[in-house]
Structure 1
């Protein structure tokens, strides 16, 4: 029996991960009571990381390496493409993904070792590509801040993607890094409708709060990209130009977009959410998505998965291109600076005679 809504959570079910042999299903025990279930609280466990930098060879991504201080994300965005990764931990991509988090408290220590290695070759690191580095847990754990301090110590270029307003806390690190051309921040802005945002992204900052973050970062001299992602056909697609205009007015100098992606378990979770929250639009939304993916909910092919194909996908791409041109927003930005990278002197290092 699916629960129609759990306050403060993006999804309402917790189906076992695809690698599990057994599943638990809630059922009616016959007692007709009106008592509310207790709040579903977040559980945070620590993982001792053995490595931190993850490398990829995807032609769809503008970076080849990334770091993630946390596994799972309390923002609870129902559409999050990273949900299926929780199955590798023996957990559900559903409620577990947003309530059973993994923190990596030794992340900064491992990052320092990896950057200090003589075999390491510098290139921009992406932070927040899988789960948000500024989700609520960061307020007390500060693992992201510790990693930023290491990157600043090495003069290492970093690109950050977040919905979290907590990024403002780290202006004391980000501002001097920006002065050296070492940092760029992307703020994800899905909709300007606060009610819709609250239902889709229950623990993420409101759209207006995210615009305020763009404004504050840009005023501090930090280049910001407004990321209109994901574009959801039949639900948020009509807002595309308004999102770009709002981001530009707040100070963003660049923009990007990605179509809604429904890999693996995300498709089922998304369709459950549509049935609960947008039943009148569900058929149209799924029809448009399948139209862009050859009749499937999602096509994971490189060069296709981010945007889809066909008439509708082409229309969104054209609208985006015209809007960014009109607003003066860049789609390609100057590369982050890599030539300032330097390994700090460590205890036991051989000192130079010069």
Structure 2
């Protein structure tokens, strides 16, 4: 009897369906039915993979970029990997550099930078440092579930508040509400803005697409809470996926009513291992639609799964990409999004003191 590969299946609370081998790995391993009737047990008896956190002492925490299609030139991420498990996450391939799978390992084997606040304080205190907006959570969510206990993002905000340093953060979590005591005063002084990612209002799709992130209605409530506290709010509609999250206009309307006044979107990006992971996910959750979705994705990428060209990687190219862009622009104009560009203030910056050292003034 020939070997029969074990079919992929959805894992409760996880986005990826496998520990896909990373691109530097010489071999890949997978389960198969050996013909002894064990296949049903293998399919039904798999325990849910648990989350593991490993501490890291970071050498630096402010990352800089010169990408012409990104609006910020520096960012900070307290965590590597993200428990939210969004299958489309473009940061998944970074786990390959840690010799870990961009699949299940990315969302179950997390790295926490325990000295992130200390290193941030050191970097902001260096002679000649010039302040500019720091984007927090640009790669992995700074309010993913482990933040409740680890409070690394909270520690970062405390340093930025002390230094009067501008920041913007993006999250899918209601956990940001915990830190309103820091964010709201900074926002009133023109030093903070928050963006909430809402890809769809369809709760069933959201559970599959972003399994451990807050539900859409909860994110809208978070938007309202932030706006009522005086925090400038925006929404991220990224990513837009043809034939999957088709309710862009409804999301924008709901977010506007909740208090968002700026918005942006990107189309689906499938760099490196994200492409096979997304294909696996489609086969598990939407097998009848998989070929049609991937055909449209490739249409926006010149016939490929992904094209990293700075000119097109965020918005895509071709007729379908133009259609998504037109829908966004028309909805934004009708609702009033992006009419005023709020520039965060860098002139209030003052280098923070050494850890544990107070000010005399």
TM tier, shorter chain?
over 0.9
The reply on whether 1:336 has 2:344 as its aligned counterpart is yes
The reply on whether 1:282 has 2:290 as its aligned counterpart is yes
Q: Per-residue CA shift, 1:48-107, capped at 9, x if unaligned?
A: 111100000000100000000000000000111110110011000000000000001110
Q: Give distance in 2, aligned partners of 1:23 and 1:279.
A: 24
Unaligned runs of 5+ in 2: 1-5
Which residue, out of 265, 271, 274, partners 2:279? Answer: 271
Residue of structure 1 in register with 2:3 after alignment: none
Which residue, out of 148, 163, 168, partners 1:154? Answer: 163
Q: Give distance in 2, aligned partners of 1:233 and 1:194.
A: 18
Which residue, out of 59, 69, 75, partners 1:60? Answer: 69
Residue of structure 2 in register with 1:197 after alignment: 206
Which residue, out of 253, 267, 283, partners 1:259? Answer: 267
**Residue 145 of structure 1, CA deviation:** 0.4
> Does the 8 A contact of 1:256 with 1:331 survive in 2?
no
> Does the 8 A contact of 1:255 with 1:331 survive in 2?
no
Residue of structure 2 in register with 1:14 after alignment: 19
Map residues 128-207 of structure 1 onto 2, 5 A cutoff: 128-207=137-216
Which residue, out of 14, 36, 43, partners 2:45? Answer: 36
**Residue 37 of structure 1, CA deviation:** 1.7
Residue of structure 1 in register with 2:244 after alignment: 235
Which residue, out of 307, 311, 315, partners 1:307? Answer: 315
Which residue, out of 8, 23, 29, partners 2:28? Answer: 23
Q: Give distance in 2, aligned partners of 1:295 and 1:21.
A: 28
Q: Give distance in 1, aligned partners of 2:135 and 2:261.
A: 19
Q: Which deviates the most, 312-321 or 142-151?
A: 312-321
| TM-score, normalization by structure 2 | 0.94
For residue 44 of structure 1, give the secondary structure of its aligned residue in structure 2: strand
> Does the 8 A contact of 1:158 with 1:184 survive in 2?
yes
> Does the 8 A contact of 2:121 with 2:354 survive in 1?
no
Matched residue count: 351
Q: Give distance in 2, aligned partners of 1:209 and 1:161.
A: 15
Residue of structure 2 in register with 1:214 after alignment: 223
| TM-score, normalization by structure 1 | 0.95
> Does the 8 A contact of 2:20 with 2:277 survive in 1?
no
**Residue 26 of structure 1, CA deviation:** 2.2
Unaligned runs of 5+ in 1: none
**Residue 45 of structure 1, CA deviation:** 0.4
Give the RMSD, CA atoms, in angstroms.
Answer: 1.8
